[in-house]
Amino acid sequence: MNLDFTQIVPYIPFMIEGIWVTLQFVLVSILVGFLIGTVLALFKIGNIKPLRWFADAYTSIFRGTPLILQLMIIYFAIPQLTAYDISPFLSAVMAFGLNSSAYVSEIIRAGIQAVDRGQTEAAHALGVPYRQMMIDIILPQALKNILPALMNEFITLTKESAIVSTIGYLDLMRRSQVVGAELFRNFEPLLFVGVLYWSMVMVLTLIGRWVERRLNVGD
Amino acid sequence: MLVIKVQKLSKTFGDNQVLKDISVEINAGEVVSIIGPSGSGKSTFLRCINLLEKPTEGKIFVAGQDLTAPKVNVTKAREKIGMVFQHFHLFPHLTVLDNLTYAPIKVKQIKKADAEDKGRKLLDRVGLADKEKAYPNSLSGGQKQRVAIARALAMEPDLMLFDEPTSALDPEMVKEVLDVMKDLAHTGMTMLVVTHEMGFAREVADQVLFLDEGRLVETGEPNAFFDKPVSERAQDFLAKIL
Ligand SMILES: Nc1ncnc2c1ncn2[C@@H]1O[C@H](COP(=O)(O)OP(=O)(O)OP(=O)(O)O)[C@@H](O)[C@H]1O
Ligand SMILES: [Mg+2]
Protein backbone atom coordinates (compact mmCIF):
# COMPACT_ATOMS: atom_id res chain seq x y z
CA MET A 1 0.00 0.00 0.00
CA ASN A 2 1.35 3.30 -1.06
CA LEU A 3 -1.12 5.79 0.36
CA ASP A 4 -0.06 9.02 1.98
CA PHE A 5 -2.72 11.57 2.76
CA THR A 6 -0.36 13.81 4.74
CA GLN A 7 1.07 15.14 1.49
CA ILE A 8 -2.20 16.72 0.41
CA VAL A 9 -2.68 18.55 3.71
CA PRO A 10 -1.11 21.84 2.51
CA TYR A 11 -3.44 21.79 -0.50
CA ILE A 12 -6.64 21.20 1.45
CA PRO A 13 -7.66 24.89 1.68
CA PHE A 14 -7.06 25.21 -2.07
CA MET A 15 -9.31 22.26 -2.79
CA ILE A 16 -12.01 23.26 -0.30
CA GLU A 17 -12.18 26.64 -1.97
CA GLY A 18 -13.27 24.67 -5.03
CA ILE A 19 -16.55 23.86 -3.29
CA TRP A 20 -17.53 27.48 -3.42
CA VAL A 21 -16.32 27.88 -7.02
CA THR A 22 -18.36 24.87 -8.08
CA LEU A 23 -21.44 25.84 -6.07
CA GLN A 24 -21.25 29.36 -7.42
CA PHE A 25 -21.70 28.39 -11.01
CA VAL A 26 -24.07 25.53 -10.24
CA LEU A 27 -26.31 27.98 -8.36
CA VAL A 28 -26.26 30.51 -11.16
CA SER A 29 -26.85 27.72 -13.69
CA ILE A 30 -29.80 26.25 -11.83
CA LEU A 31 -31.32 29.71 -11.51
CA VAL A 32 -30.89 30.37 -15.22
CA GLY A 33 -32.21 26.88 -15.94
CA PHE A 34 -35.22 27.39 -13.68
CA LEU A 35 -36.17 30.74 -15.19
CA ILE A 36 -35.78 29.65 -18.81
CA GLY A 37 -37.30 26.27 -17.95
CA THR A 38 -40.41 27.91 -16.48
CA VAL A 39 -40.89 30.02 -19.59
CA LEU A 40 -40.40 26.96 -21.83
CA ALA A 41 -42.88 24.97 -19.73
CA LEU A 42 -45.46 27.76 -20.12
CA PHE A 43 -44.84 27.69 -23.88
CA LYS A 44 -45.39 23.95 -23.89
CA ILE A 45 -48.74 24.04 -22.14
CA GLY A 46 -49.92 27.23 -23.88
CA ASN A 47 -52.06 27.58 -26.99
CA ILE A 48 -49.59 29.41 -29.21
CA LYS A 49 -48.32 26.85 -31.72
CA PRO A 50 -45.01 28.46 -32.81
CA LEU A 51 -43.95 28.84 -29.17
CA ARG A 52 -44.87 25.24 -28.50
CA TRP A 53 -42.77 24.10 -31.45
CA PHE A 54 -39.87 26.22 -30.36
CA ALA A 55 -39.95 24.83 -26.81
CA ASP A 56 -40.21 21.24 -28.07
CA ALA A 57 -37.34 21.69 -30.53
CA TYR A 58 -35.21 23.36 -27.89
CA THR A 59 -35.79 20.52 -25.46
CA SER A 60 -35.10 17.91 -28.09
CA ILE A 61 -31.77 19.48 -29.09
CA PHE A 62 -30.44 20.03 -25.59
CA ARG A 63 -31.50 16.62 -24.36
CA GLY A 64 -30.39 14.89 -27.54
CA THR A 65 -26.72 15.94 -27.52
CA PRO A 66 -23.94 15.48 -24.95
CA LEU A 67 -23.53 18.24 -22.41
CA ILE A 68 -19.78 18.26 -22.89
CA LEU A 69 -20.32 18.94 -26.60
CA GLN A 70 -22.63 21.87 -25.78
CA LEU A 71 -20.01 23.21 -23.40
CA MET A 72 -17.23 22.92 -26.00
CA ILE A 73 -19.33 24.53 -28.69
CA ILE A 74 -20.12 27.50 -26.49
CA TYR A 75 -16.56 27.86 -25.27
CA PHE A 76 -14.79 27.42 -28.61
CA ALA A 77 -17.35 28.36 -31.23
CA ILE A 78 -18.44 31.67 -29.78
CA PRO A 79 -14.96 33.28 -29.88
CA GLN A 80 -14.39 31.87 -33.37
CA LEU A 81 -17.68 33.16 -34.75
CA THR A 82 -18.09 36.43 -32.90
CA ALA A 83 -14.60 37.35 -31.80
CA TYR A 84 -16.02 37.66 -28.28
CA ASP A 85 -13.60 36.07 -25.87
CA ILE A 86 -15.98 34.22 -23.59
CA SER A 87 -14.78 33.37 -20.10
CA PRO A 88 -14.86 29.80 -18.78
CA PHE A 89 -17.34 30.89 -16.11
CA LEU A 90 -19.78 32.39 -18.59
CA SER A 91 -19.45 29.41 -20.92
CA ALA A 92 -20.09 27.04 -18.07
CA VAL A 93 -23.13 28.95 -16.85
CA MET A 94 -24.53 29.18 -20.36
CA ALA A 95 -24.01 25.52 -21.18
CA PHE A 96 -25.34 24.27 -17.86
CA GLY A 97 -28.15 26.82 -17.64
CA LEU A 98 -29.42 26.22 -21.17
CA ASN A 99 -29.02 22.47 -20.85
CA SER A 100 -30.73 22.22 -17.53
CA SER A 101 -33.59 24.47 -18.66
CA ALA A 102 -34.51 21.74 -21.16
CA TYR A 103 -34.80 19.18 -18.38
CA VAL A 104 -36.40 21.58 -15.93
CA SER A 105 -39.03 22.62 -18.48
CA GLU A 106 -40.14 18.99 -18.72
CA ILE A 107 -40.24 18.69 -14.95
CA ILE A 108 -42.30 21.86 -14.61
CA ARG A 109 -44.63 20.95 -17.47
CA ALA A 110 -45.39 17.62 -15.85
CA GLY A 111 -45.79 19.32 -12.47
CA ILE A 112 -48.28 21.84 -13.84
CA GLN A 113 -50.25 19.17 -15.64
CA ALA A 114 -50.42 17.11 -12.47
CA VAL A 115 -52.32 19.91 -10.69
CA ASP A 116 -56.01 19.00 -10.55
CA ARG A 117 -57.94 20.54 -13.45
CA GLY A 118 -60.54 21.59 -10.91
CA GLN A 119 -58.10 24.22 -9.65
CA THR A 120 -58.05 25.89 -13.04
CA GLU A 121 -61.81 25.70 -13.27
CA ALA A 122 -62.31 27.16 -9.81
CA ALA A 123 -59.96 30.03 -10.65
CA HIS A 124 -61.72 30.61 -13.99
CA ALA A 125 -65.10 30.57 -12.30
CA LEU A 126 -63.91 33.28 -9.88
CA GLY A 127 -62.84 35.47 -12.78
CA VAL A 128 -59.10 35.15 -12.08
CA PRO A 129 -57.07 36.07 -15.19
CA TYR A 130 -54.75 33.41 -16.66
CA ARG A 131 -51.45 34.99 -15.62
CA GLN A 132 -52.54 35.56 -12.06
CA MET A 133 -54.00 32.08 -11.83
CA MET A 134 -50.69 30.60 -12.96
CA ILE A 135 -48.63 32.63 -10.51
CA ASP A 136 -50.86 32.36 -7.42
CA ILE A 137 -52.77 29.11 -7.81
CA ILE A 138 -51.19 26.67 -10.25
CA LEU A 139 -47.43 27.22 -9.94
CA PRO A 140 -47.31 27.07 -6.12
CA GLN A 141 -49.08 23.72 -6.23
CA ALA A 142 -46.99 22.52 -9.15
CA LEU A 143 -43.85 23.49 -7.25
CA LYS A 144 -44.76 20.98 -4.58
CA ASN A 145 -45.04 18.24 -7.22
CA ILE A 146 -41.79 19.18 -8.91
CA LEU A 147 -39.59 19.94 -5.95
CA PRO A 148 -38.20 16.42 -5.54
CA ALA A 149 -37.41 16.19 -9.26
CA LEU A 150 -35.97 19.69 -9.26
CA MET A 151 -33.71 18.85 -6.33
CA ASN A 152 -32.56 15.79 -8.25
CA GLU A 153 -31.71 18.01 -11.19
CA PHE A 154 -29.75 20.27 -8.85
CA ILE A 155 -27.79 17.28 -7.56
CA THR A 156 -27.16 15.93 -11.06
CA LEU A 157 -25.94 19.35 -12.09
CA THR A 158 -23.58 19.53 -9.11
CA LYS A 159 -22.02 16.23 -10.06
CA GLU A 160 -21.98 16.82 -13.83
CA SER A 161 -20.41 20.21 -13.19
CA ALA A 162 -17.07 18.41 -12.97
CA ILE A 163 -16.84 18.45 -16.77
CA VAL A 164 -16.16 22.19 -16.74
CA SER A 165 -12.66 21.20 -15.68
CA THR A 166 -12.15 20.37 -19.38
CA ILE A 167 -12.28 24.04 -20.32
CA GLY A 168 -9.91 25.03 -17.57
CA TYR A 169 -12.42 26.40 -15.10
CA LEU A 170 -10.84 26.06 -11.69
CA ASP A 171 -13.64 24.09 -10.04
CA LEU A 172 -13.40 21.34 -7.47
CA MET A 173 -12.52 18.67 -10.03
CA ARG A 174 -9.88 20.78 -11.74
CA ARG A 175 -8.28 21.60 -8.42
CA SER A 176 -7.80 17.93 -7.60
CA GLN A 177 -6.02 17.50 -10.93
CA VAL A 178 -3.80 20.50 -10.27
CA VAL A 179 -2.83 19.09 -6.89
CA GLY A 180 -2.31 15.64 -8.41
CA ALA A 181 0.06 17.05 -10.99
CA GLU A 182 2.10 18.89 -8.40
CA LEU A 183 2.43 15.93 -6.07
CA PHE A 184 2.73 13.29 -8.75
CA ARG A 185 0.06 11.49 -6.78
CA ASN A 186 -3.47 11.47 -8.14
CA PHE A 187 -5.33 9.00 -5.99
CA GLU A 188 -5.36 10.98 -2.73
CA PRO A 189 -6.58 14.32 -4.12
CA LEU A 190 -9.19 12.55 -6.24
CA LEU A 191 -10.44 10.62 -3.25
CA PHE A 192 -10.50 13.80 -1.22
CA VAL A 193 -12.65 15.79 -3.68
CA GLY A 194 -14.79 12.69 -4.08
CA VAL A 195 -15.66 13.01 -0.40
CA LEU A 196 -16.32 16.73 -0.90
CA TYR A 197 -18.70 16.07 -3.81
CA TRP A 198 -20.49 13.45 -1.79
CA SER A 199 -20.87 15.81 1.18
CA MET A 200 -22.28 18.53 -1.06
CA VAL A 201 -24.83 16.13 -2.49
CA MET A 202 -25.82 15.01 1.00
CA VAL A 203 -26.29 18.59 2.17
CA LEU A 204 -28.41 19.36 -0.90
CA THR A 205 -30.50 16.26 -0.28
CA LEU A 206 -31.14 17.30 3.32
CA ILE A 207 -32.03 20.85 2.29
CA GLY A 208 -34.43 19.39 -0.27
CA ARG A 209 -36.19 17.29 2.35
CA TRP A 210 -36.46 20.25 4.68
CA VAL A 211 -37.98 22.49 2.01
CA GLU A 212 -40.37 19.72 1.02
CA ARG A 213 -41.59 19.44 4.60
CA ARG A 214 -42.11 23.20 4.77
CA LEU A 215 -44.17 23.12 1.59
CA ASN A 216 -46.41 20.40 2.91
CA VAL A 217 -48.12 22.58 5.52
CA GLY A 218 -51.50 22.34 3.79
CA ASP A 219 -51.71 18.55 3.90
CA MET B 1 -86.23 40.93 -14.15
CA LEU B 2 -84.46 38.39 -16.33
CA VAL B 3 -81.06 37.26 -15.11
CA ILE B 4 -80.44 34.43 -17.54
CA LYS B 5 -81.75 34.02 -21.03
CA VAL B 6 -80.59 30.98 -22.98
CA GLN B 7 -81.57 30.84 -26.65
CA LYS B 8 -81.28 27.71 -28.77
CA LEU B 9 -78.14 26.53 -27.00
CA SER B 10 -76.35 23.55 -28.53
CA LYS B 11 -73.06 21.98 -27.50
CA THR B 12 -71.07 19.36 -29.36
CA PHE B 13 -67.97 17.49 -28.23
CA GLY B 14 -66.37 16.05 -31.37
CA ASP B 15 -69.34 14.45 -33.04
CA ASN B 16 -71.23 13.90 -29.79
CA GLN B 17 -74.05 16.42 -29.50
CA VAL B 18 -74.51 16.83 -25.78
CA LEU B 19 -76.96 19.76 -25.68
CA LYS B 20 -79.68 20.20 -28.25
CA ASP B 21 -81.46 23.46 -28.85
CA ILE B 22 -82.09 24.49 -25.26
CA SER B 23 -83.97 27.71 -24.47
CA VAL B 24 -84.64 28.86 -20.92
CA GLU B 25 -85.41 32.09 -19.11
CA ILE B 26 -84.67 32.61 -15.43
CA ASN B 27 -85.75 35.58 -13.35
CA ALA B 28 -83.85 37.30 -10.59
CA GLY B 29 -84.32 35.53 -7.27
CA GLU B 30 -85.50 32.30 -8.84
CA VAL B 31 -84.15 28.96 -7.69
CA VAL B 32 -84.03 26.47 -10.53
CA SER B 33 -83.31 22.77 -10.11
CA ILE B 34 -81.86 20.88 -13.04
CA ILE B 35 -82.46 17.17 -12.94
CA GLY B 36 -82.08 14.28 -15.33
CA PRO B 37 -80.30 10.98 -15.86
CA SER B 38 -76.53 10.67 -15.79
CA GLY B 39 -74.97 11.88 -19.02
CA SER B 40 -78.01 13.92 -20.01
CA GLY B 41 -75.92 17.12 -20.19
CA LYS B 42 -76.78 18.81 -16.87
CA SER B 43 -73.19 19.73 -16.01
CA THR B 44 -72.45 20.80 -19.54
CA PHE B 45 -75.50 23.08 -19.52
CA LEU B 46 -74.41 24.67 -16.24
CA ARG B 47 -70.81 25.04 -17.43
CA CYS B 48 -71.94 26.78 -20.60
CA ILE B 49 -73.54 29.51 -18.51
CA ASN B 50 -70.17 30.69 -17.16
CA LEU B 51 -68.39 29.65 -20.34
CA LEU B 52 -66.31 26.89 -18.79
CA GLU B 53 -67.62 25.18 -21.92
CA LYS B 54 -67.92 27.19 -25.09
CA PRO B 55 -71.39 26.87 -26.63
CA THR B 56 -71.36 25.49 -30.16
CA GLU B 57 -74.52 27.33 -31.13
CA GLY B 58 -77.04 29.64 -29.57
CA LYS B 59 -76.90 32.63 -27.28
CA ILE B 60 -76.57 33.09 -23.54
CA PHE B 61 -77.45 36.38 -21.88
CA VAL B 62 -76.53 36.94 -18.25
CA ALA B 63 -77.79 40.15 -16.68
CA GLY B 64 -78.43 41.52 -20.16
CA GLN B 65 -74.92 40.81 -21.47
CA ASP B 66 -74.54 38.47 -24.43
CA LEU B 67 -71.77 36.10 -23.29
CA THR B 68 -71.60 34.49 -26.71
CA ALA B 69 -70.84 37.77 -28.51
CA PRO B 70 -67.45 37.62 -30.28
CA LYS B 71 -65.47 40.17 -28.26
CA VAL B 72 -66.90 39.56 -24.81
CA ASN B 73 -64.45 39.64 -21.86
CA VAL B 74 -65.07 36.16 -20.50
CA THR B 75 -62.93 36.63 -17.40
CA LYS B 76 -64.78 39.80 -16.43
CA ALA B 77 -68.17 38.22 -17.08
CA ARG B 78 -67.38 35.31 -14.76
CA GLU B 79 -66.88 37.63 -11.77
CA LYS B 80 -70.64 37.98 -11.56
CA ILE B 81 -71.36 34.24 -11.76
CA GLY B 82 -70.50 32.12 -8.73
CA MET B 83 -69.95 28.42 -9.14
CA VAL B 84 -69.86 25.55 -6.67
CA PHE B 85 -68.44 22.22 -7.81
CA GLN B 86 -69.17 18.67 -6.77
CA HIS B 87 -65.57 18.24 -5.60
CA PHE B 88 -65.21 21.70 -3.98
CA HIS B 89 -61.92 22.64 -5.68
CA LEU B 90 -60.75 24.79 -2.78
CA PHE B 91 -57.20 26.10 -3.10
CA PRO B 92 -55.29 23.65 -0.88
CA HIS B 93 -52.26 25.89 -0.32
CA LEU B 94 -54.34 28.76 1.08
CA THR B 95 -56.08 28.99 4.44
CA VAL B 96 -59.85 29.04 4.54
CA LEU B 97 -59.95 32.82 4.91
CA ASP B 98 -57.41 33.30 2.10
CA ASN B 99 -59.56 31.09 -0.11
CA LEU B 100 -62.39 33.56 0.45
CA THR B 101 -60.38 36.76 0.06
CA TYR B 102 -58.08 35.78 -2.80
CA ALA B 103 -60.36 36.61 -5.72
CA PRO B 104 -61.91 39.76 -4.19
CA ILE B 105 -58.42 41.15 -3.52
CA LYS B 106 -56.76 40.09 -6.75
CA VAL B 107 -59.67 40.37 -9.16
CA LYS B 108 -61.87 43.11 -7.72
CA GLN B 109 -58.98 45.00 -6.10
CA ILE B 110 -60.74 45.21 -2.76
CA LYS B 111 -58.58 46.25 0.21
CA LYS B 112 -57.25 43.30 2.18
CA ALA B 113 -58.80 44.42 5.47
CA ASP B 114 -62.21 44.92 3.87
CA ALA B 115 -62.02 41.58 2.08
CA GLU B 116 -61.14 39.88 5.36
CA ASP B 117 -64.03 41.52 7.21
CA LYS B 118 -66.37 40.36 4.49
CA GLY B 119 -64.78 36.91 4.46
CA ARG B 120 -65.24 36.50 8.21
CA LYS B 121 -68.90 37.51 7.95
CA LEU B 122 -69.43 34.91 5.25
CA LEU B 123 -67.66 32.22 7.25
CA ASP B 124 -69.90 33.07 10.16
CA ARG B 125 -72.90 32.78 7.88
CA VAL B 126 -71.95 29.26 6.79
CA GLY B 127 -71.16 28.31 10.40
CA LEU B 128 -67.37 28.10 10.08
CA ALA B 129 -66.19 31.21 11.88
CA ASP B 130 -63.68 29.17 13.87
CA LYS B 131 -62.01 27.69 10.78
CA GLU B 132 -60.54 30.78 9.15
CA LYS B 133 -56.95 29.74 9.78
CA ALA B 134 -57.44 26.08 8.88
CA TYR B 135 -56.25 24.59 5.59
CA PRO B 136 -58.88 22.94 3.39
CA ASN B 137 -57.44 19.44 3.75
CA SER B 138 -58.16 19.48 7.47
CA LEU B 139 -61.89 20.01 6.90
CA SER B 140 -64.69 17.50 6.41
CA GLY B 141 -66.46 17.32 3.06
CA GLY B 142 -69.44 19.26 4.32
CA GLN B 143 -67.20 21.98 5.74
CA LYS B 144 -65.25 22.18 2.49
CA GLN B 145 -68.41 22.65 0.50
CA ARG B 146 -69.62 25.38 2.83
CA VAL B 147 -66.28 27.15 2.41
CA ALA B 148 -66.63 26.77 -1.35
CA ILE B 149 -70.06 28.39 -1.22
CA ALA B 150 -68.69 31.23 0.91
CA ARG B 151 -65.78 31.65 -1.50
CA ALA B 152 -68.16 32.07 -4.42
CA LEU B 153 -70.34 34.50 -2.43
CA ALA B 154 -67.31 36.62 -1.55
CA MET B 155 -67.30 37.85 -5.15
CA GLU B 156 -70.88 39.14 -4.66
CA PRO B 157 -72.21 37.34 -7.71
CA ASP B 158 -75.55 38.01 -9.42
CA LEU B 159 -76.24 34.32 -9.63
CA MET B 160 -74.88 31.06 -8.31
CA LEU B 161 -74.40 27.79 -10.16
CA PHE B 162 -74.24 24.54 -8.20
CA ASP B 163 -73.17 21.29 -9.86
CA GLU B 164 -74.25 18.42 -7.62
CA PRO B 165 -72.95 20.17 -4.50
CA THR B 166 -73.85 17.30 -2.17
CA SER B 167 -73.08 14.26 -4.35
CA ALA B 168 -69.54 13.79 -3.05
CA LEU B 169 -70.55 14.07 0.60
CA ASP B 170 -71.15 11.45 3.25
CA PRO B 171 -74.89 11.26 3.96
CA GLU B 172 -74.63 12.89 7.37
CA MET B 173 -73.08 16.01 5.85
CA VAL B 174 -75.63 16.61 3.13
CA LYS B 175 -78.00 18.49 5.39
CA GLU B 176 -75.52 21.12 6.58
CA VAL B 177 -74.80 22.06 2.97
CA LEU B 178 -78.44 22.04 1.88
CA ASP B 179 -79.29 24.24 4.88
CA VAL B 180 -76.75 26.82 3.75
CA MET B 181 -78.21 26.69 0.26
CA LYS B 182 -81.74 27.11 1.59
CA ASP B 183 -80.67 30.17 3.55
CA LEU B 184 -79.10 31.54 0.44
CA ALA B 185 -82.28 30.93 -1.54
CA HIS B 186 -84.22 32.88 1.09
CA THR B 187 -81.94 35.89 0.68
CA GLY B 188 -83.15 36.16 -2.90
CA MET B 189 -80.08 34.80 -4.67
CA THR B 190 -80.69 33.50 -8.17
CA MET B 191 -79.60 29.86 -8.15
CA LEU B 192 -79.22 27.08 -10.69
CA VAL B 193 -78.77 23.78 -8.95
CA VAL B 194 -77.99 20.46 -10.60
CA THR B 195 -79.02 17.97 -7.97
CA HIS B 196 -80.19 14.48 -7.17
CA GLU B 197 -81.75 15.76 -3.94
CA MET B 198 -85.40 15.64 -4.97
CA GLY B 199 -86.49 16.80 -1.52
CA PHE B 200 -84.46 19.98 -1.94
CA ALA B 201 -85.78 20.51 -5.46
CA ARG B 202 -89.35 20.15 -4.33
CA GLU B 203 -89.01 22.30 -1.26
CA VAL B 204 -86.80 25.13 -2.44
CA ALA B 205 -86.97 25.35 -6.22
CA ASP B 206 -89.33 27.65 -8.09
CA GLN B 207 -88.78 25.81 -11.31
CA VAL B 208 -87.55 22.38 -12.33
CA LEU B 209 -85.78 21.71 -15.61
CA PHE B 210 -85.72 18.11 -16.71
CA LEU B 211 -82.98 17.22 -19.19
CA ASP B 212 -82.75 13.98 -21.09
CA GLU B 213 -80.21 13.12 -23.79
CA GLY B 214 -79.31 16.77 -24.19
CA ARG B 215 -82.85 18.02 -24.62
CA LEU B 216 -84.88 20.13 -22.26
CA VAL B 217 -87.78 17.71 -22.10
CA GLU B 218 -89.92 19.29 -19.44
CA THR B 219 -90.02 22.38 -17.25
CA GLY B 220 -92.43 23.09 -14.49
CA GLU B 221 -93.22 24.17 -11.01
CA PRO B 222 -91.81 21.48 -8.68
CA ASN B 223 -94.99 20.12 -7.08
CA ALA B 224 -96.69 19.75 -10.43
CA PHE B 225 -93.56 18.23 -11.95
CA PHE B 226 -92.99 15.66 -9.23
CA ASP B 227 -96.67 14.74 -8.79
CA LYS B 228 -97.74 14.73 -12.39
CA PRO B 229 -94.86 14.71 -14.86
CA VAL B 230 -96.19 15.19 -18.36
CA SER B 231 -93.51 13.53 -20.48
CA GLU B 232 -92.96 9.81 -20.52
CA ARG B 233 -89.21 10.37 -20.05
CA ALA B 234 -89.76 12.26 -16.81
CA GLN B 235 -92.25 9.66 -15.60
CA ASP B 236 -89.70 6.88 -16.18
CA PHE B 237 -86.92 8.86 -14.53
CA LEU B 238 -88.97 9.70 -11.43
CA ALA B 239 -90.28 6.15 -11.16
CA LYS B 240 -86.67 4.92 -11.01
CA ILE B 241 -85.37 7.31 -8.37
CA LEU B 242 -88.30 7.94 -6.03
N1 LIG C 1 -65.03 17.70 -21.97
C2 LIG C 1 -65.77 16.74 -22.59
N3 LIG C 1 -65.32 16.14 -23.71
C4 LIG C 1 -66.05 15.21 -24.33
N5 LIG C 1 -67.25 14.77 -23.92
C6 LIG C 1 -67.76 15.32 -22.81
C7 LIG C 1 -67.05 16.34 -22.08
N8 LIG C 1 -67.81 16.70 -21.02
C9 LIG C 1 -68.93 15.96 -21.08
N10 LIG C 1 -68.91 15.14 -22.14
C11 LIG C 1 -69.99 14.20 -22.52
O12 LIG C 1 -71.18 14.91 -22.56
C13 LIG C 1 -72.26 14.12 -22.07
C14 LIG C 1 -72.98 14.88 -20.99
O15 LIG C 1 -72.11 15.03 -19.89
P16 LIG C 1 -72.50 15.86 -18.58
O17 LIG C 1 -71.35 15.77 -17.69
O18 LIG C 1 -72.99 17.19 -18.99
O19 LIG C 1 -73.73 15.00 -18.04
P20 LIG C 1 -74.45 15.09 -16.63
O21 LIG C 1 -75.91 15.17 -16.92
O22 LIG C 1 -73.86 16.15 -15.82
O23 LIG C 1 -74.14 13.68 -16.00
P24 LIG C 1 -73.86 13.27 -14.47
O25 LIG C 1 -75.20 13.19 -13.80
O26 LIG C 1 -73.23 11.93 -14.58
O27 LIG C 1 -72.97 14.31 -13.89
C28 LIG C 1 -71.66 12.81 -21.62
O29 LIG C 1 -71.89 11.87 -22.64
C30 LIG C 1 -70.19 13.11 -21.49
O31 LIG C 1 -69.44 11.97 -21.80
MG1 LIG D 1 -72.66 16.21 -14.06
Residue A151 included in any domain: yes
Chain B residues within an 8 Å CB radius of A218: 92-94, 135-137
Start-to-end Cα distance in chain B: 34
> Mean pLDDT across chain B, nearest whole number?
94
Which residue has a Cα nearest atom 4 of ligand 1? B13
Residue A3 included in any domain: no
Compute CA distances A49 → A53, A55, A63, A112, A129, whole Å.
6, 10, 21, 19, 21
Contact between A119 and B91 using a beta-carbon 8 Å cutoff: yes
pLDDT in the model for residue B5 = 95
- What distance in Å separates residue A139's CA from the closest CA in chain B? 11
pLDDT in the model for residue A3 = 79
**How do strand B207-212 and strand B31-35 relate by DSSP bridges?**
parallel
What CATH number is given to the structural domain containing A156?
1.10.3720.10
What is the rounded CA–CA span in Å between residue A110 and residue A145?
9
Which residue is closest to A141 within chain B, CA to CA? B93
* Span from the CA of B20 to the centroid of ligand 1 (angstroms): 13
Ligand nearest to the CA of B214: 1
Question: Looking at the partner chain, which of B76, B93, B151 has a beta carbon nearest the beta carbon of A218?
Answer: B93
Chain A residues within an 8 Å CB radius of B159: none
Closest-lying ligand 1 atom to the alpha carbon of residue B53: 1
- Cβ(B3)–Cβ(B27) below 8 Å: yes
Note the pLDDT tens digit of each residue in B37-56.
Answer: 999 999 999 999 999 999 99
Note the pLDDT tens digit of each residue in A184-198.
Answer: 888 999 999 999 999
Chain B residues within an 8 Å CB radius of A144: 93
Residue A41 included in any domain: yes
> Mean pLDDT across chain A, nearest whole number?
91
Residue A183 included in any domain: no
Which DSSP symbol is given to B23? E
What is the 3-class SS of B139-164, one letter each residue?
CCHHHHHHHHHHHHHCCCCCEEEEEC
DSSP secondary structure, chain A, as one string:
----GGGGGGGHHHHHHHHHHHHHHHHHHHHHHHHHHHHHHHHHHSS-HHHHHHHHHHHHHHHHS-HHHHHHIIIIIHHHHH-----HHHHHHHHHHHHHHHHHHHHHHHHHHTS-HHHHHHHHHTT--HHHHIIIIIHHHHHHHHHHHHHHHHHHHHHHGGGGGGGT---HHHHHHHHHHHHT--HHHHHHHHHHHHHHHHHHHHHHHHHHHHHGGG-
ipTM: 0.93
Residue A103 included in any domain: yes
Chain B residues within an 8 Å CB radius of A124: 50, 52, 75, 78
* Residue bearing the bigger pLDDT, A218 or B8: B8
Residue of B34, B40, B44 with the most ligand 1 atoms within 8 Å of its CB, for mutation: B44
The pTM (predicted TM-score) of the whole model is 0.84
| Cβ-Cβ contacts under 8 Å for A77 (sequence gap 6 or more) | none
Please tell me the total count of domains within chain A. 1
- Cβ(B103)–Cβ(A126) below 8 Å: yes
* Span from the CA of B211 to the centroid of ligand 1 (angstroms): 12
- A52 in B contact zone (CB under 8 Å): no
Ligand nearest to the CA of B39: 1
- Would the pLDDT of A85 be above 90? no
Q: Which range marks the domain in which residue A131 is found?
A: 24-171
- What distance in Å separates residue B241's CA from the closest CA in chain A? 29
| Cβ-Cβ contacts under 8 Å for A158 (sequence gap 6 or more) | A22, A23, A26, A197, A200, A201, A204
Contact between A125 and B78 using a beta-carbon 8 Å cutoff: yes
Contact between A121 and B78 using a beta-carbon 8 Å cutoff: no
Residue A17 included in any domain: no
Which residue is closest to B77 within chain A, CA to CA? A127
Taking one residue from A and the other from B, the number of pairs with CB-CB distance under 8 angstroms is: 68
Residue A128 included in any domain: yes
Residue A193 included in any domain: no
- Would the pLDDT of A2 be above 80? no
Could you tell me which of A140, A149, A165, A161 has the C-alpha nearest to residue A27?
A161
Q: Within 10 Å of residue A87's Cβ, how many Cβ atoms?
A: 11
Compute CA distances A154 → A90, A96, A158, B152, whole Å.
18, 11, 6, 40
pLDDT in the model for residue A217 = 61
